[in-house]
Structure 1
Amino acid sequence: MDALLFDMDGVVVDSEDYWHRAEREELLPAVLDGELPDLDEITGMPYREIYDYLDANYETRVSKSEFVDLYDETAETVYREEVELLDCFAEVREAARDAGVPVGLVSSSPPTWMGYVLDRFGLQFDLILSNDEVDGPGKPEPAIYEAAAERFGVDPVDCVAVEDSRNGSLAAERAGMVVVGLRVDHNAGTDLSACDVVCDGSEELLAELSRRLGES
């Protein structure tokens, strides 16, 4: 492993628990008339692209700017007040440091949202990359993971990406990376077939990543 890359939402922090509730109960009913999407359709996508997807496939009743405002307002509460850090993150970060493997945070979330998490938990990464800073479409397309490998100066096939969503795991797989899935309550039924291995909970994730880092 030449680089270890973490998705943020649902991996580094348990934000998907809060996003899914907000989307089911507040956001999507406010945005759409009629049928609502399965959340796996949109989880992991950049939120501006979520609007484009909904507008193309469902009946939207607010403008894109109104949609963005709704998500930005919710994000401030989710990241500043509600989320908790992945149980094993400190141990994984230390193991990566001991192995000399750089660690990146690679997220569909905008820099402002990522900043809320970094500031709240005092996190440091060797690379922090938002889809807003990448040319090309967001997850499930591979552009953000290809950009992360390029910025680290490594081959994507020598990178390990940790993901929890169908869209995110597809993006990393399409970039040619080894994909480690994290299975927890919020994604119990999510299709993670693009992953090379799926870990049930943080203890299994810690064991899997520690083993891989020990071989680096």
Structure 2
Amino acid sequence: MTAVLFDMDGVLVDSEDYWVEFQREDILPATVPDEDVAVAETSGMHFREIYDYLDDEYGAAISREAFVQRFTEAAAEIYTERADLLDGCHDLLAELDDRGVPTALVSSSPHEWIGMVTERFDLETEFDHVISADDIDAASKPAPDIFEYAAAEIGVPAADCVVVEDSENGIEAAARAGMVVIAYRVDAHGDIDRSPAADVVDSPAALRERTLALTE
């Protein structure tokens, strides 16, 4: 049996463009104003761990509370007003369901943010499992922990899982878990390292074709 695990930001919804803009223009300059930190350095990490990382590496100029508030306000705007759903998402999930292929939404975002997306786009019953980094007490991507946990929850060996990811940290995390990775190219990430992925796709149509081919 093969299971398909979908990342949320940048895959199911085109929120990554907005998150990259927010991090580049707002949160990184506010948190580490004297440092030139690339967004890719923290992409895919749980937002609370981003603060810890920035504070440890560079020294944070704002409090954790202020950091969390900025992220929380940005999430509400991005997920409820700005982001759009992946073209053909419902059809792809329906085809996988018809084949008996388990699916999971696996995200570093907290359940509250995931809920904004699933409610807005009628995805609340579309996935067999919805897994957040909040569910585990472990390291964020690029550590493989969240994907290893997801495979255990689904009951499928990691080697039988296909993961759709967009960020460098997410691609690395899934590959380190021993899963087959489809890298979904997002312009906002630029020229990141996608080499751990088995395939790189550039469009919803190509993503659908490759996902279905791997689950035949």
Q: Which amino acid aligns with 2:101?
A: V
Q: CA deviation at 1:36?
A: 2.7
Q: State the identity %.
A: 47
CA contact (8 A) 1:180 1:197 kept: yes
Q: Could you list the per-position Cα deviations for residues 181-211 of structure 1 after superposition, in whole angstroms to 9, with x for gaps in the alignment?
A: 0013222312111111111121211110121
Distance 2:36 2:68 in 1: 18
- Counterpart in the other structure of 2:39: 39
Q: CA deviation at 1:178?
A: 0.4
Q: CA deviation at 1:33?
A: 2.1
Distance 2:194 2:141 in 1: 14
Structure 2 gaps of 5+ residues are none
Distance 2:13 2:188 in 1: 12
Q: CA deviation at 1:132?
A: 0.6
Instruction: Tell me the SS of whatever aligns to 1:189.
Output: coil
Out of 153, 156, 160, which is 1:154 matched to?
156
Distance 1:137 1:164 in 2: 19
Out of 112, 137, 145, which is 1:135 matched to?
137
- Counterpart in the other structure of 1:205: 207
Q: CA deviation at 1:35?
A: 1.4
Out of 163, 166, 169, which is 2:168 matched to?
166
Distance 1:54 1:70 in 2: 15
RMSD between aligned residues: 1.1
Moved more, 98-107 or 30-39: 30-39
Instruction: Tell me which stretches of 4 or more aligned residues in structure 1 moved more than 4 Å.
Output: none
TM-score w.r.t. length of structure 2: 0.95
Q: Could you list the per-position Cα deviations for residues 144-197 of structure 1 after superposition, in whole angstroms to 9, with x for gaps in the alignment?
A: 101110011110000000000010011111111000100132223121111111
Structure 1 gaps of 5+ residues are none
Moved more, 139-148 or 184-193: 184-193
The size of the alignment, in residue pairs, is 214
The answer on 1:56 being equivalent to 2:83 is: no
